[in-house]
Amino acid sequence: AGERAACVARIRELLARERAVLVAHYYVDAELQELAEETGGCVGDSLEMARFGRDHEARTLVVAGVRFMGETAKILSPDKRILMPDLDATCSLDLGCPAADFAAWCDAHPDRTVVVYANTSAEVKARADWVVTSSIALDVIADLHARGEKILWAPDRHLGDYVQRQTGADMLLWQGSCLVHDEFKGTELELLRAEHPQAKVLAHPESPAAVLAQADVVGSTTQLIEAARKFDAGLLIVATDQGILHKMRAAAPGKTFLAAPTAGNSASCKSCAHCPWMAMNALSNLAETLEHGRNEIRLDPALGLRAKAPIDRMLDFAD
């Protein structure tokens, strides 16, 4: 405990020395989330992280999350120095959507508006008309659909399928998935709900359709935390990465949270739903990153410029 406290104190000093600000996601360690908040940084969903990084005056941003979040920060602020505790923190959606294959797919469907999820590489974003995050995907697609546009969607098939069913838009879906959310199981969730009929279900839209069909709220991480706060139910079943429980408990004190079941688990599972790449962010590598200016995100400026247009489109739409 003494070592951790010393590490936290050192990170505070280094953030001040480097005039850096920490931008964290809800799935990283609670200690990192706390540090971000206490030092004037932010904890948020992907859209909020992008906006905060873009608007903050600090010249150095430290992004505690996964690679696409650091890249998005760099794309939006090419003149800032963007550091990450571990540059190998990737995402199964990004891995499952290689830029060359994606470009060939786009080439085969030139009549469609290309919408990609933020969980993609800069190369994939550069090929898109729109980038969206989970908090805004539904609204953007509904708007495009209302204007008669046909959509090419990548990479998350569950989010794409959910948005397609909600809006009725004409969408072709890339078949990617999040390795954390893909594990939530509809049948086991039904059993858990039967044990706790009073419980409400909060689900991230990267979860399979059989789970989303049972959800009382489907939304981004921030939207799920807000729903946990607002619901008058005392028992909430949560289908997303368990890192979110730290903030959910703080936002809704006195309520009880159960993890939604994953494969083969009819009981709640406390540790299985956690992203291995988000877990690569720790106090120790954050301190080292700041100490030595290591792990800087570097992007070809021309690529960054191409990737920026579809992100700006989303941010303008959100404002």
52-91: contacts with ligand 13P (CB under 6 A): none
Closer residue to ligand SF4 in complex, CB, 35/89: 89
Strands, E assignment, 120-214: 130-132, 151-154, 171-173, 200-203
Query: Could you give the CA distance from residue 119 to residue 97 in angstroms, rounded to a whole number?
Result: 10
Task: Please select the residue that binds ligand 13P; options are 72, 133, 164, 242, rule is CB under 6 A.
Answer: 133
| CB-based contact 258:196 (threshold 8 Å) | yes
Establish if 171 lies at the interface with ligand 13P (CB under 6 A). Answer: no
| CB-based contact 76:305 (threshold 8 Å) | no
Task: Please select the residue that binds ligand 13P; options are 33, 46, 207, 289, rule is CB under 6 A.
Answer: 46
Q: In whole angstroms, how large is the CA radius of gyration of the chain?
A: 19
CB of 272 to ligand SF4, least distance (A): 13
Establish if 220 lies at the interface with ligand 13P (CB under 6 A). Answer: yes
Name the token pair of 115.
């919408």
220 interface partner picked from ligand 13P, ligand SF4, none, CB below 5 to 8 A per type:
ligand 13P
Closer residue to ligand 13P in complex, CB, 207/287: 207
Name the token pair of 161.
């399928």
CB of 210 to ligand SF4, least distance (A): 18
Task: Please select the residue that binds ligand 13P; options are 33, 77, 134, 281, rule is CB under 6 A.
Answer: 134
Establish if 183 lies at the interface with ligand 13P (CB under 6 A). Answer: no
Closest CA relative to residue 130, chosen from 110, 152, 108: 152
258 interface partner picked from ligand SF4, ligand 13P, none, CB below 5 to 8 A per type:
none
| SS3 (DSSP) at 159 | helix
β-partners of residue 15 are none
Residues near ligand SF4 (CB under 6 A) are 66, 91-93, 119, 178-180, 206, 241, 275, 277-278
Closer residue to ligand SF4 in complex, CB, 179/299: 179
Name the token pair of 211.
């789970």
Contacts with ligand 13P by CB under 6 A: the residue count is 10
Closer residue to ligand 13P in complex, CB, 8/128: 128
Query: Could you give the CA distance from residue 137 to residue 141 in angstroms, rounded to a whole number?
Result: 6
Q: Give the strands of the sheet with 256-259, arranged side by side.
A: 217-218, 200-203, 235-239, 256-259
Residues that bind ligand 13P in the complex, under the rule CB under 6 A: 45-46, 119, 133-135, 178, 206, 220-221
